[in-house]
Amino acid sequence: MRVTPHIVVPHRWRDRYAEYARHLDHDRHAVTYVTTDVGVDSVPPNAAEVVVVPATDDLPAVLAEVRALATRWDPPTGVVALKEDDLMVAARLRAEWGCAGPTEAEVALFRDKPAMCRTVAAAGVDVPAFAPAESAADVVGFAGEHGWPVVLKPRSGSSNAVSMSVVGLSADPGFRWACRRNAARTGCTWAFRRCGLREAGPSRAWQRSWTQRRAVARTQTERALVGPLRRA
């Protein structure tokens, strides 16, 4: 049995967005990396081991590699994932080996946009009208109830992938393509009403200056989403 704690890092970045070696002591820990071809060159040179998978959000592939790493470096004592697309996989790895950190249910509050909005709204933060949409007809129905324009986004995803603003059915015939593309990528599209902050709701917090409103929203959102993690 090794005495060096084993930490697993799912990693996909080409550039040095995350300087892992500044925050993880690679001498005191056996830090292994599960990465893609794109991310290999930015892995710290003193990594204990590096394995390559087609995609770091491919749970079966990542699980298989980490199980193999666990036989060579002992079961992981920690899992660190920074890219939002990898957070759910990291949570599943923690569950597999009983590591501390955000669970799948907790990560869902950050990754599933309707769940995120419900949680934020329950904390008293104003949010625009929103709903899941699995077809173009759902988007038209949503707009019929709440009005145009609406914004279409993947239910989960990052970097505003395949997001678009739709100002009306006749003006934006391409929104059917966005619905199909988002559904294929994430299983569901997420639609919400595009509006200014003053249109979002009656909360007095939104009547303050832009800087104050942004600070209030950030604080309330952090309490709603991060608070449960801090108490864990």
Q: Kindly report, residue by residue over 107-146, the tens digit of the pLDDT.
A: 988 888 888 888 988 998 888 888 887 777 787 888 888 8
Residue that is written with structure tokens 């990560």 in the block: 107
At the topology level of CATH, where does 6-101 sit?
A: Rossmann fold (3.40.50)
Amino acid at the residue 119: T
Q: Quick one: angle between helices 87-97 and 59-73, nearest 10?
A: 40
What's the Cα-to-Cα distance from 214 to each of 74, 129, 205, 211, rounded to whole Å?
45, 19, 9, 5
Q: Using only C-alpha atoms, what is the Rg of the chain?
A: 21
What are the pLDDT digits (tens) for 29-88?
999 999 999 999 999 999 999 999 999 999 999 999 999 999 999 999 999 999 888 999
- Give the predicted TM-score (pTM) of the model: 0.68
**DSSP state, residue 140:** H
Angle between helices 175-186 and 136-146 (to 10 degrees): 120
Supply the mean pLDDT for the chain.
75
CB of 56 closer than 8 Å to CB of 30: no
* Region(s) of the chain under CATH 3.30.1490.20: 110-227
Contacts of 157 (CB under 8 A, 6+ apart): 85, 185, 186
What is the CATH code for 110-227?
A: 3.30.1490.20
Q: Boundaries of CATH 3.40.50.20 in the chain?
A: 6-101
